[in-house]
Amino acid sequence: MRLLPQLFANNRAWAAQQTRGDPQFFERLCAIQRPDHLWIGCADSRVPANEIVGLAPGELFVHRNVANIVRPDDRNCLSVVQYAVDVLRISHIIVCGHYRCGGIQAAFGPATTEPLEGWIAHVRAVRAAHAAELDALPDDAARWQRLCELNVTAQVRIVCGLAPVVQAWERGQPLAVHGWIYDLKDGLLRDLEVSVGTAPA
Ligand code: CO
C-alpha cells in the first residue's frame, strides 16, 4: 500500500502541469543547475521560498531552518553557502525572516528542551544584544516583531564573515548579501536595507 496517496497524486499532476507548455522542462533541469540566488529562510510552512519570489525549480538554491539562523559552526548551512558561492557562483544571498516566527517567539520564553534550546540560544543572544531597544517598545507584540527583524540583520552580518563569502569578495566575484522580512499578513516582502556587497541586479 502506498502511503500518503494524495501527495503522490498531487505530484503526478504537478509533473504533468510542468511539461504541458514546456515538454523539455525536466530534461533541461537535469542537464544544469544555475540558480543566481541563495535563500536562507525559516522552515515555517507558511513561507515557501520559491513561490514568494516567483522563481521556478532551478532558479533558487534554498536553505531553511528554524528561525533562519546562520551559525558559523553549523556545517549544514556552511556547506550550502560554500557550494552556492564556490560552485554555483550565485550572485545574491538572501537571508529572509518572517513576522510571527515561532522560533523568534521562543527566544522570549522559558528554556525548552534540547536540541531546540541550543538552537534558539542563538536568537536569545540577538535578543540580549538589543535588550535596551526591545525593552523600550510598548508591548510584547512589538518586541516579537522587532526581534524578527533584528535576527535577520544579525544573520546577514554572520554571512558576511563566512570564509566562502569573504574569499569571493577578495577575488572580486560579484556577490551581495541581503536581509529581507516576509509578512504573513499580506504575503509581501520588505527589504530591511542592510545589503552588503555588489552584484548585478
Ligand atoms: Co519562523
Task: Work out whether strand 175-183 and strand 196-198 pair parallel, antiparallel, or are unpaired.
Answer: antiparallel
Give every residue of the chain whose pLDDT is below 50, as ranges: none
Instruction: Check whether residue 78 and residue 121 sit in a common domain.
Output: yes
Calculate how far, in angstroms, residue 63's C-alpha sits from the geometric centre of ligand 1: 13
Calculate how far, in angstroms, residue 78's C-alpha sits from the geometric centre of ligand 1: 20
Cell numbers standing for residue 2:
502506498
Instruction: Check whether residue 73 and residue 150 sit in a common domain.
Output: yes
User: What is the structure's pLDDT at 32?
Assistant: 82
> Which member of 37, 98, 122, 178 is catalytic?
98
Instruction: Check whether residue 18 and residue 40 sit in a common domain.
Output: no
3-state secondary structure (DSSP) of residue 42: strand
Any catalytic annotation for residue 101?
yes
Calculate how far, in angstroms, residue 41's C-alpha sits from the geometric centre of ligand 1: 8
Instruction: Check whether residue 109 and residue 83 sit in a common domain.
Output: yes
Q: What is the pLDDT of residues 103-134, one digit of tens each?
A: 999 999 999 999 999 999 999 999 999 999 99
As a whole number of angstroms, the distance between CA 34 and CA 119 comes to 31
As a whole number of angstroms, the distance between CA 78 and CA 39 comes to 13
Calculate how far, in angstroms, residue 76's C-alpha sits from the geometric centre of ligand 1: 18
Instruction: Check whether residue 21 and residue 54 sit in a common domain.
Output: no
User: What is the structure's pLDDT at 2?
Assistant: 77
Instruction: Check whether residue 148 and residue 108 sit in a common domain.
Output: yes
As a whole number of angstroms, the distance between CA 162 and CA 133 comes to 27
Any catalytic annotation for residue 42?
yes
User: What is the structure's pLDDT at 127?
Assistant: 98
User: What is the structure's pLDDT at 11?
Assistant: 95
Q: What is the pTM of this model?
A: 0.95
> Which member of 42, 77, 96, 148 is catalytic?
42
User: What is the structure's pLDDT at 15?
Assistant: 95
User: What is the structure's pLDDT at 3?
Assistant: 87
Contact call for residues 163 and 188 (beta carbons, < 8 A): no
Instruction: Check whether residue 24 and residue 95 sit in a common domain.
Output: no
Calculate how far, in angstroms, residue 57's C-alpha sits from the geometric centre of ligand 1: 22
Amino acid at 112: T
Instruction: Check whether residue 17 and residue 87 sit in a common domain.
Output: no
Any catalytic annotation for residue 86?
no
CATH code (residue 152): 3.40.1050.10
Domain count for the chain, please give it: 2
Any catalytic annotation for residue 178?
no
As a whole number of angstroms, the distance between CA 104 and CA 73 comes to 20
Calculate how far, in angstroms, residue 43's C-alpha sits from the geometric centre of ligand 1: 6
User: What is the structure's pLDDT at 4?
Assistant: 92
Instruction: Check whether residue 40 and residue 102 sit in a common domain.
Output: yes
> Where are the alpha helices (H) located in 107-180, listed in sequence order?
116-129, 131-135, 140-161, 163-170
User: What is the structure's pLDDT at 138?
Assistant: 98
Residue 4 sits in which domain range? 1-31
Instruction: Check whether residue 90 and residue 6 sit in a common domain.
Output: no
Instruction: Check whether residue 15 and residue 105 sit in a common domain.
Output: no
User: What is the structure's pLDDT at 1?
Assistant: 54
Instruction: Check whether residue 89 and residue 152 sit in a common domain.
Output: yes
Calculate how far, in angstroms, residue 82's C-alpha sits from the geometric centre of ligand 1: 24
Any catalytic annotation for residue 98?
yes
